[in-house]
Structure 1
Amino acid sequence: MMEPLFEKLKSNAVAHRQCIILPESTEPRTLTAADKIIGDKVADIVLIGHADEIDAKVKELGLTHIGEARIINP
């Protein structure tokens, strides 16, 4: 049986792991997506922003993997 397209893309991304830099680091959709990407081991994440603001939003959203992201304070 053929692997669904999304699963094939995900497998390829995991095999050739890249780094994604995200500037909108306190946006809930951005953090939620980043948390999923980290949890699925699809890519490394770099968040641009203030660590205390990011941490507060992460706690508010109840995200569990975002702690593995690198944070760069502009």
Structure 2
Amino acid sequence: MYQQLYVLLIIILCICGDCQLEQSFGIDFDRNTFIKDGKPFQYISGSIHMYRMPREYWNDRLEKMWAAGLNAIQT
């Protein structure tokens, strides 16, 4: 009984593993740009020093950085 259940679980996991979205990331050396999911991508980065602020402000500051258009944050 458990062996059949185990085999069924393995089959389900294999099927679901193929259902994930195809994502790609590469570099277009001719145009000097990153390519993410087939479209040009530009990193907009900022820096935050977590140890310089109280822990309860971390989420607020990260959300504000995201709202400002940053898509990469250095900590």
Shorter-chain-normalised TM-score: which range?
under 0.3
Higher percent of residues as helix: 1
With normalisation by structure 2, the TM-score equals 0.26
TM score, norm. by length of structure 1 = 0.27
Bigger-Rg structure (1/2): 2
Structure with more relative contact order (C-alpha pairs < 8 Å, separation 6 or more) = 1
